[in-house]
A and B are shown apart, each in its own frame.
Chain A
Amino acid sequence: NAGVTQTPKFQVLKTGQSMTLQCAQDMNHNSMYWYRQDPGMGLRLIYYSASEGTTDKGEVPNGYNVSRLNKREFSLRLESAAPSQTSVYFCASPGQNTGELFFGEGSRLTVL
């Protein structure tokens, strides 16, 4: 039982390149979330998916797109990466009754 799995763990991009971060959860949860974490800023919500087939913007959605591929998988895409998107990205999924968030190990992205 892996919980929340993210790939890749590390990535270096050049400005303007695109890439997709993948997230999968094996807990049969309905909703999934993408956060970014920056020094001095704390964790901020990018996008979330309340259920399969739905997505909604969070606090900092600009420059990102998401896809809820099925109940297990939720991907985050950077179409044209910018240095300001250098960050650690976390995928998370809340327990159905408790609301506690289960986080993945993070994807560390550097945009040069």
Chain B
Amino acid sequence: EDQVTQSPEALRLQEGESSSLNCSYTVSGLRGLFWYRQDPGKGPEFLFTLYSAGEEKEKERLKATLTKKESFLHITAPKPEDSATYLCAVPRLVILGSQGNLIFGKGTKLSVKP
């Protein structure tokens, strides 16, 4: 069965303290891995898509990397405004029109204290 597991469930950092979030997956043929950010009371907001092992993408203080078994979201010198829940997800099916059918992890809640 396809699965996505995120760790840790929660992470508390001091401002400027770099760290990484983990997303491990077991799927029969990876068709992309997505990272989203979710603020309290809001819908998830897209961050990155990774398609192949070795691929990396960056946005401000965030960098996502992908291996054959897992993905990491590296946060460099975080600021309080980076506090949010970070979700990763993989596509469940490849049927036309179902590219939004994703298996989501339960998320990592990041808190960055000033």
Contacts and interface: CB of A to CB of B under 8 A. Distances in A.
How many of chain A's residues touch chain B, expressed as a range? 20 to 34
B87 interface: yes
B91 to A, nearest CB: 7
B59 interface: no
Given A50-B97, A106-B42, A42 B104 contact: yes
Interface in A35-55: 40-45, 48, 50-51, 54
B105 interface: yes
How many of chain B's residues touch chain A, expressed as a range? 20 to 34
Prevailing SS type, chain B contact patch: loop
Contacts, number: 70
Contact of A42 (B42, B92, B98, B105): B105
Given A40-B106, A99-B91, A48 B101 contact: yes
A53 to B, nearest CB: 11
B45 A103 contact: yes
A70 B98 CA distance: 18
Contacts of B106: 40-42
A99 B43 contact: no
A93 interface: yes
18 contacts: A30-B97, A31-B99, A33-B100, A33-B101, A41-B106, A45-B92, A48-B97, A48-B98, A50-B97, A56-B98, A92-B100, A99-B32, A99-B34, A99-B99, A100-B49, A103-B43, A105-B41, A106-B41
Interface of A: 4, 30-31, 33, 40-45, 48, 50-51, 54, 56, 58, 90, 92-94, 98-106
Interface of B: 32, 34, 36, 41-46, 49, 87, 89, 91-92, 95-102, 104-107
